[in-house]
């Protein structure tokens, strides 16, 4: 992985902490809207993490594939298109 590992780890630990908090909120029968807001916040952190990983992938692996040329270029394009397809299907 070529992304800033420290940044990715920090973001994932933040999301994990938020998930633990959401679980406590559910177990404590907290207000639904408060739980929903925390879920949205966690999703935002995960999206930010994914964006960092994809950015680094494009800046390193994809860039390298295009510099080297050949069949690897199409593989990298297909990978990015598959990710974009998944992102477009998310609510």
pLDDT attached to residue 70: 73
DSSP conformational letter for 28: T
Mean pLDDT of the chain: 92
* Helical packing angle, 5-27 and 32-57, nearest 10°: 160
Of residues 48 and 1, more confidently modeled: 48
| Stretch 49-54: mean pLDDT | 94
At a CB cut-off of 8 Å and minimum separation 6, what does 7 contact?
52
Q: Which residue has the tokens 């960092």?
A: 52
| 3-class DSSP state of 31 | coil
| Stretch 79-91: mean pLDDT | 87
pTM of the model: 0.84
At a CB cut-off of 8 Å and minimum separation 6, what does 14 contact?
45
**91 pLDDT band (50/70/90 cuts)?**
low
């Amino acid at each position: 992985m070529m992304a800033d590992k420290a940044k990715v780890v920090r973001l994932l630990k933040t999301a994990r902490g938020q998930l633990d908090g959401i679980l406590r909120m559910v177990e404590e029968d907290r207000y639904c809207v408060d739980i929903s807001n925390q879920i949205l916040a966690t999703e935002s952190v995960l999206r930010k993490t994914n964006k960092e990983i994809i950015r680094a992938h494009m800046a390193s692996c994809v860039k390298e594939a295009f510099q080297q040329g050949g069949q690897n270029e199409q593989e990298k394009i297909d990978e990015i298109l598959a990710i974009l397809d998944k992102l477009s299907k998310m609510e």
